[in-house]
Amino acid sequence: MDPVPALEEPLKQPLKSVLGPATAKVMAEHLGLDTVGDLLHHYPRRYEERGQLTHLADLPMDEHVTVVAQVADARLHTFASAKAPRGKGQRLEVTITDGSGRLQLVFFGNGVHKPHKELLPGTRALFAGKVSVFNRRLQLAHPAYELLHGDSEETVESWAGALIPIYPATAKLESWKIGKAVQTVLPTAQEAVDPLPGSLLEGRGLLPLPEALLKIHRPHTKADIADARARLKWDEAFVLQVALARRRHADAQLPAVPRRPRPDGLLTAFDDRLPFTLTEGQQKVSREIFDDLATEHPMHRLLQGEVGSGKTMVALRAMLAVVDAGGQAAMLAPTEVLAQQHHRSITEMMGELAEGGMLGGAEQATKVVLLTGSMGAAARRQALLDLVTAEAGIVIGTHALIEDKVQFHDLGLVVVDEQHRFGVEQRDALRGKGKQPPHLLVMTATPIPRTVAMTVFGDLETSVLDQLPAGRSPIASHVVPAADKPHFLARAWERVREEVANGHQAYVVCPRIGDDIDETDAKKAGKKSPEDEAEKRPPLAVLDVADQLAKGPLQGLTVEVLHGRMHPDDKDAVMRRFAAGETDVLVATTVIEVGVNVPNATAMVIMDADRFGVSQLHQLRGRVGRGSAPGLCLLVSEMPEASAARQRLNAVAATLDGFELSRIDLEQRREGDVLGQAQSGARTSLRVLAVIEDEEVIAEAREEATAVVTADPELERLPGLRTALAALLDDEREQYLEKG
């Protein structure tokens, strides 16, 4: 698909040639903006009205903010300091107000002269800087500012509209400087080529693209902003959905071998041995999977299920069905610990059915082999041989399975556990090992709201397991505010001792391993932050915590450690001892986040819980309460009561519903991840589209996109859409789509 190069020329101009090298360099480095088109798509975050001021009362801490306010008073103080011993040091304190609150600005040294002349009481200006706390009051130190008065031509020109756009800015480039740069390139918006088909624009009453760009940057009314945003949301949703629809269309053209289970084969024998009946959800999802496996095109299905909802059982039955039909099945796990564990639990579930070719094996039996990077040469050779000869129907492994040496007799199904750890390239490498593309089942225990599934996993059909199997116990979760109430932490360790005294076991999870503080932590440790001590201290480490617990509150219990840097054999040995009940307390990093299954472990204490994401905490918590005894999860944090981090932890403690938590998680991270600048500073492909609120737009865009691609797979009649797709699918976006 060759994009049509002549179309987008004016928007492809590098910013260097339009704004000059210095500004262009800052835009590229800090905002990821390189061309005129990039800048036109850097939309305002919000708008200030001339007569209406930002609320100083609810400024976020530690963030770069832009406010419009009026100077209430300004005082120059002199003081003595090391640099100015004779009382010659100067400090200018300016108080600004917006009716809702007051904010202190401070300027020091030679920096006081200009603001002292300009910031007179009654002056109105835009101020930008980072909010910090000094003497319990909010302040901006050395903020940049732009006076709002009508005497200079330029200011009048830039602020002519009643609505002042406030752009996502950085410390190096204030909002109004971005605004001026946008003014410079705005005339080029007329040349923007519209990616949406004309019929769609008319059918939905959407603005043409040039008009939408003009209105989002220079709105005259709030209605202008609403119209522009509605249009630009459609652009994002539609182009993204077309990319996904094209991938689905291409996949649907691939041939696959239909795999139907034999009526009296391995699957029937397995079902007959099960000591319990499958939940309704498991039966329904299994039917969807078996229907897909029976078709002549490869299945592409995402299986979502809460931790412990029995996904592995559903996946295993699909694998057995494929073995029944003469094929082989491969299960790909993100870590060795998890691959070993899947291998253990699957061979246990299958019993003699997993002993193909051995004495005592059942007649329909097959072999289940494990393949990981750290296996001994002999075991590895045998496993590879079993795969080539079809002796082994099922193989479970890490990405060692993707290596060139690994050959299958007839690969029919690939099951990928925890999708977010595998990119599409790896899925494709495994797929290439089949004579024809194998069927694909992707499993995730991270609940994904429907719209995100449509956006991120839009090339997969989705099945959801939302019932927990009978016999799973509820998990009680509590936040332990270690700084405000130290006696709560002492009580937490008592609770762990009580669980152990009742014959159970416990996990203690820490954010890092040992003396490996990275530079960012060291920098944090050096900076004074409003969340004071909790932020300055480097995150707690497994080795230190294990040592303190064994000598202190958990003295007399057997405490072991588990982390990612251990040798795989040592990790496995530690897990085995814990699974066998020989260890009382396992102090670990997040290596235990996925798939570790020890039904006797009932308590988990997560140290520095505020350092983990919402869905990660939910995953971790799913490791307890896996047996018949109720689970307990304690989230330890030193963050103050009012902080956003504590509110996040309270949300996790308040609900066990993963879908609810994934919504909270997205809403909290949205500003960073889904809109505007990603936290890394890289662009994400979503700017005005809010995955959660815009569910309808995404669903409708998916339908429209599917119709367009079905009618014209190569988009020959839509050159503008092809150009937009080419821009979306440059490498960075391609990765965004694929890594999900």
Three-state SS annotation for 285-342: HHHHHHHHHCCCCCCEEEEEECCCCCHHHHHHHHHHHHHHCCCEEEEECCCHHHHHHH
Q: Encoding tokens for residue 573?
A: 């040995």
CB-neighbour burial class of residue 599 (10 A; exposed 0-12, middle 13-18, buried 19+): middle
**Residue 516 confidence (pLDDT):** 52
Length of the chain: 740
Residue predicted with more confidence, 476 or 156: 476
Between the alpha carbon of residue 641 and those of residues 16, 62, 529, 620, the distances in Å are 47, 17, 16, 23
Please check the confidence at residue 1 and state whether its pLDDT lies above 50.
Answer: no
Could you tell me the pTM of the whole model? 0.63
**Residue 237 confidence (pLDDT):** 87
Distance, CA of 290 to chain centre: 31
Report how far residue 663's alpha carbon sits from residue 496's, in angstroms, rounded to the nearest whole number: 31
Residue 646's closest CA among 474, 484, 525?
Answer: 484
608: DSSP letter = T
Longest CA–CA span in the chain (Å) reads 97
Helix (H, G, I), strand (E, B) or coil at 367: strand
- Read off the pLDDT band of 735 (50, 70, 90): very low
Give strand pairing partners of 585: 506, 559
The pLDDT tens digits for 442-494 are: 888 766 666 666 766 677 788 888 766 666 677 889 999 888 888 888 999 99
Distance, CA of 291 to chain centre: 32
Please check the confidence at residue 541 and state whether its pLDDT lies above 70.
Answer: yes
What is the average per-residue pLDDT within 338-366? 81
Helix (H, G, I), strand (E, B) or coil at 521: helix
Q: How many helices (H) and strands (E) does the chain have?
A: 28, 21
What is the average per-residue pLDDT within 261-271? 89
Q: CB-based contacts of 52: which residues, under 8 Å, 6+ apart?
A: none
Give strand pairing partners of 505: 601
8 Å CB contact between 592 and 623? yes
Report how far residue 520's alpha carbon sits from residue 528's, in angstroms, rounded to the nearest whole number: 14
Number of CB atoms found within 10 A of residue 614's CB: 21
The pLDDT tens digits for 123-137 are: 888 887 778 888 778
Within 13 Å, how many C-alpha atoms sit on residue 195's CB side? 24
Q: Which residue type does 459 have?
A: D
Q: Dihedral sign for Cα 225, 101, 648, 586, please.
A: positive
Output phi, psi for 462, to 5 deg.
-115, 135
Q: CB-based contacts of 317: which residues, under 8 Å, 6+ apart?
A: 267, 270, 271, 286
Residue predicted with more confidence, 674 or 2: 2
The pLDDT tens digits for 685-713 are: 456 666 667 778 888 888 899 999 999 98
Report how far residue 687's alpha carbon sits from residue 232's, in angstroms, rounded to the nearest whole number: 9
Report how far residue 10's alpha carbon sits from residue 32's, in angstroms, rounded to the nearest whole number: 19
What is the average per-residue pLDDT within 131-155? 73
